[in-house]
Amino acid sequence: MANPTAAMLVIGDEILSGRTRDANMHYLAGELTKHGISLAEVRIVPDVASKIVETVQGLSREYGSVFTSGGIGPTHDDITADCIAEAFGKTIGVRDDARALLQAHYDKSGQEFNEARQRMARIPEGATLIENPVSVAPGFVLENVYVMAGVPSVFQAMVASIMPTLTGGDPVLSQTLRIERGEGEIAGPLAELAATYSDLSVGSYPYQQNGAYGANVVIRGTDGQRVDEAMARLAELFA
């Protein structure tokens, strides 16, 4: 059977404006690949409620898991939790267990647990909390949607906490051959190889460096023996 599939939804005007470079997609893709889950689609949407709700609903129907990043902080534009609640027809409010975590954290640090910070304890009805060992404010899981922070260090910690709970498949293996020829020259034989090994992913990624050019051909799959066979054939084709 094919590996489970997943999608990611990156939320935030700051990503689309270019002010902030997203690092979370790269990290999540690597972790899911190791776990045998195929990240099949990534979307980026602005801080617009209707776009978030619509996108979450569509991705949730299409993929086994959806992972979101961004929009669960204390400010007025952190609207992700409300949108997830709306997407699944759930109520939302300050939850006792989330509030207790945050109260203890701010009491310990000597900071006021003010109204803005209490927003981070608002959790949709029926959701399960995601642990945040970095800054305490929890993420949550509702249906098949995992809602996590946008700050990379917090996002990575949350991913680490949920990964053992996910049902994975076979880890994806990959091998690479650097071919010092233009893609126009290798395209024909490469297409034939891809057709012969249709159960594998065969990708060509061109490079140009210090006057030299060519392509890194990457073969990926869950069957190590098939990947080895395809790589041996590739090496023969472009010895």
**pLDDT in tens for each of the 239 residues of the chain?**
589 999 999 999 999 999 999 999 999 999 999 999 999 999 999 999 999 999 999 999 999 999 999 999 999 999 999 999 999 999 999 999 999 999 999 999 999 999 999 999 999 999 999 999 999 999 999 999 999 999 999 999 999 999 999 999 988 899 999 999 999 999 999 999 999 999 999 999 999 988 899 999 999 998 999 999 999 999 999 98
CA 130 to CA 113: how far, in whole Å? 20
Which residue in 73, 136, 74 sits closest to 105, CA to CA? Answer: 136
* No. of helices (H) and no. of strands (E), the chain: 9, 11
Q: Does domain 5-165 have CATH number 3.30.70.260?
A: no
Run of H or E including 13? helix 13-16
CA 100 to CA 115: how far, in whole Å? 14
CA 84 to CA 72: how far, in whole Å? 11
The domain ranges of the chain are: 5-165, 173-237
The conformation of residue 2, written as its DSSP 8-state character, comes to P
Strand partners, 213: 208
- CATH node for 173-237: 3.30.70.600
155: three-class secondary structure by DSSP:
helix
